[in-house]
Amino acid sequence: MSVKSITRFLIISSAALFCNTANSQILNELGSVHGNFQIDAAYYQKDTIIDADPGSELFRYNAFGNINYSKGGFSAGVRFESYNPPLLGYLPGYKGSGVPYRFARYQHKDIDITVGNFYEQFGSGITLRAYENRGLLYDNALDGMRVIFTPKNGITIKGLVGKQRTYFSLSPGVVRGIDAEVNIMDLFDSILGKSKTKVIIGGSFVSKYQEDQNPTLVLPQNVATGAGRITIIRGGFNFNAEYANKANDPSYQNKYSYQQGHAVIASASYGTDGFSAMLSGKMLDNMSFRSDRDAQNTIAMINYQPDFSKFHTYSLMAYYPYATQPNGEVGGTGEIQYKVKKGTWLGGKYGMDITLNASAYFATDTIGIAPINDTLRNFKYSTNYSNLGEEYYHDFNIEITKKLNKKLKLTVMYANQFLNQSIVQFNTPDKEEHPDIKSHIGVIDLTWRYKTGSAIRFEAQGFFADYDYKEHAIDANGNKNITSNTGSWASALIEWTPNTHWSITVADQYNYNNPVISKRVHYYFGMIGYTNGPTRVSVSYGRQRQGIFCAGGVCRFVPSSSGLNISISSSF
């Protein structure tokens, strides 16, 4: 951390201290100051058994603090961030400290102006989404200016221009966008009267400019994308659809293909007391859109290609997660939720919740050379929309939750998953090195509330890889060149919350039939957490298995690690 940033922070802190000495009456007139912060720090150990090697920098941390000031319609804020170096598994480019986020905003009646950094989303995000997820260290904030104009109830017009954050600086391309949304019923309420059906239509146009410095290719410097969308809501029924088109946009991501991009996204849902059904589908073809055509990972992404697959919270269910394939995919997700009524044979005294969820995603059926196989920069291909390509992912799962009596609550869950990991995670057709992962996963989760405010939770999970090990025989040293299939896992966890402040967790994950015999080891883990109001502190120690974490449609690999972790977060 540089001396400059510390000084900056101390100045802000002492300014705050000064405010504190003023009495609260004056403070109210001066406006209010609020903020939050979080520090996640780790002291890593080398652990040869699980191949955890933190290198020479054993102490690492991710930290940030926001300070916001507001008075009436005016607000302003800064965020200080520091990673020296970032925790293992985060992009090393974040190494450093600074104030990458600062803004001033004024809202008055029909106008809302922001200068500096801001986050924004147009429609489903397919043309533009400047977004942050601090836990995943995903931050594509725009730095520029935004105006939101609401001339009449039911009409919203947004215009913006700026450059996107890339680590502690900005990406080279300029992003310009406009979005308009009309809530037809709100607009014509006075004429049509209160309608039960709501119809909202919207359209967006986003363009980027990046200079062409490529010595061999003639690259488009301005690339535009446009989209139209509609939402219809009536009672418990919801329908959403958006269509987007992108001009030719050769990039590192699409192997410099001059193909245009298309996207169709639609979802429908129905919900009533005790029952709901939802279906989402999408077809994405070459819609990756970045303000730096050479960027990788989560850097400089202008848009968001939605992912509807279930966001699992049990660790082994999420061991091989899916992420939208930026070059193209077709698929959908459906979900049915049903609440069995109290007092029925199945429902018993307290009722029972059942959730059925299914997802399946495939490659687009490309004719000619698909970008993934294109080594010759054969810039164009055509897509056969009536057919599906190879399977990328599926996840069929069922979850049942039932309160057994006043003290016991049980959740059981089963999933059948498939992941084409060579394409989805490693972006290569090499199936020998990265075989498809087929699995059956089971979870049992039991909470025992033994007295008011005190509970013990037991959790058992099993990940059963459906995989033919004979085919990939192991050599005399027990080493087979399978780097990305770790076989089956079993895990157990006990979490004790003696009161509402403290929690103690112990867990073990056992990689009991890793194809490499020497890697059949235990990943033990212990954690103590303390919460008081908005403040949370936790200390944990143990092994963390390698895994894939996905954010914004891009997955990143987090290596195995072992060590001590401390996390502090609060808001004020």
Partner 1 sequence: MKKLLILSSAIILSLSAFRSSDGDKIPSATVKKLDGSTTNSNTFSNNGKPIIISFWATWCKPCKKELDAINEEYAELVKETGVKLIAISIDDARSSGKVVTDVKVKGWTYEVYIDENQDFKRAMNVNNVPHTFLVDGEGKIVWSHNSYAEGDEEKLFEHVRKLAKGEKIAGH
Binding residues among 117-146 for partner 1 as defined by CB under 8 A: 119-121, 124-125, 129, 131-132, 134-135
Beta carbon of residue 375, minimum distance to partner 1 (angstroms, whole number): 33
569 near partner 1 (CB under 8 A): yes
Closest C-alpha among 289, 218, 258 to residue 379? 258
- What is the rounded CA–CA span in Å between residue 258 and residue 244? 17
Beta carbon of residue 447, minimum distance to partner 1 (angstroms, whole number): 7
378 near partner 1 (CB under 8 A): no
Single out the segment in contact with partner 1 by CB under 8 A; choices: 2-10, 208-216, 360-368, 431-439. 2-10
> By CB under 8 A, what part of segment 76-115 binds partner 1?
82, 84, 107
Beta bridge partners of 85: none
523 near partner 1 (CB under 8 A): no
- What is the rounded CA–CA span in Å between residue 424 and residue 158? 35
> By CB under 8 A, what part of segment 244-303 binds partner 1?
267, 269-278, 280
Considering beta carbons, is residue 253 or 503 the nearer one to partner 1? 503
339 near partner 1 (CB under 8 A): yes
554-558/547-551 β-pairing: antiparallel
Instruction: Look up tokens 């996204």; give the residue.
Output: 265
The residue count for the chain:
572
157 near partner 1 (CB under 8 A): no
Beta carbon of residue 15, minimum distance to partner 1 (angstroms, whole number): 9
Beta carbon of residue 496, minimum distance to partner 1 (angstroms, whole number): 10
Q: Which of 55, 73, 151, 368 binds partner 1 (CB under 8 A)?
A: 73
34 near partner 1 (CB under 8 A): yes
Peptide bond into 250 cis (omega under 30): no
The answer to whether 323 and 424 have CB atoms below 8 angstroms apart is yes
Tokens of 38: 């979080």
Considering beta carbons, is residue 195 or 384 the nearer one to partner 1? 195
Beta bridge partners of 558: 547
- What is the rounded CA–CA span in Å between residue 119 and residue 165? 11
45 near partner 1 (CB under 8 A): no
Considering beta carbons, is residue 36 or 513 the nearer one to partner 1? 36
Beta bridge partners of 557: 548
Single out the segment in contact with partner 1 by CB under 8 A; choices: 47-55, 116-124, 220-228, 283-291. 116-124
417 near partner 1 (CB under 8 A): no
- What is the rounded CA–CA span in Å between residue 412 and residue 423? 31
444 near partner 1 (CB under 8 A): no
Single out the segment in contact with partner 1 by CB under 8 A; choices: 19-27, 211-219, 360-368, 473-481. 19-27
Considering beta carbons, is residue 82 or 561 the nearer one to partner 1? 82
Beta carbon of residue 372, minimum distance to partner 1 (angstroms, whole number): 24
427 near partner 1 (CB under 8 A): no
75 near partner 1 (CB under 8 A): yes
Beta carbon of residue 76, minimum distance to partner 1 (angstroms, whole number): 12
Q: Which of 531, 549, 558, 564 binds partner 1 (CB under 8 A)?
A: 531
533 near partner 1 (CB under 8 A): yes
Beta carbon of residue 503, minimum distance to partner 1 (angstroms, whole number): 6
63 near partner 1 (CB under 8 A): yes
Considering beta carbons, is residue 9 or 379 the nearer one to partner 1? 9
Considering beta carbons, is residue 103 or 381 the nearer one to partner 1? 103
Contacts of 269 (CB under 8 A, 6+ apart): 237, 238, 276, 277, 278, 279
344 near partner 1 (CB under 8 A): no
- Counting Cβ atoms within 10 Å, is residue 419 exposed (0-12), middle (13-18) or buried (19+)? buried
Q: Kindly report the backbone phi and psi dihedral angles of residue 519, in degrees, each rounded to the nearest multiple of 5, phi listed first.
A: -100, 10
- Please, what sign has the CA dihedral across residues 298, 481, 322, 464? negative
Considering beta carbons, is residue 124 or 514 the nearer one to partner 1? 124
Closest C-alpha among 378, 358, 376, 359 to residue 368? 378
The answer to whether 102 and 77 have CB atoms below 8 angstroms apart is yes
What b-and-e string marks burial along 533-548, b requiring 16 or more CB atoms within 10 Å of the CB?
eeeeebebbbbbbbbb
> By CB under 8 A, what part of segment 451-510 binds partner 1?
452-455, 497, 499-501, 503
Beta carbon of residue 472, minimum distance to partner 1 (angstroms, whole number): 34
Tokens of 535: 């403040």
> By CB under 8 A, what part of segment 161-200 binds partner 1?
183, 186, 198, 200
With helix as H, strand as E and coil as C, how does 370-394 read?
CHHHCCCCCCCCEEEEEEEEEEEEE
Number of residues that bind partner 1 (CB under 8 A): 101
Alpha helices in 300-420 (DSSP H): none
Single out the segment in contact with partner 1 by CB under 8 A; choices: 234-242, 420-428, 484-492, 512-520. 234-242
Beta carbon of residue 230, minimum distance to partner 1 (angstroms, whole number): 11
65 near partner 1 (CB under 8 A): yes
Considering beta carbons, is residue 210 or 305 the nearer one to partner 1? 305
Q: Where are the beta strands (DSSP E) in 318-381?
A: 328-340, 352-367
- Counting Cβ atoms within 10 Å, is residue 508 exposed (0-12), middle (13-18) or buried (19+)? middle
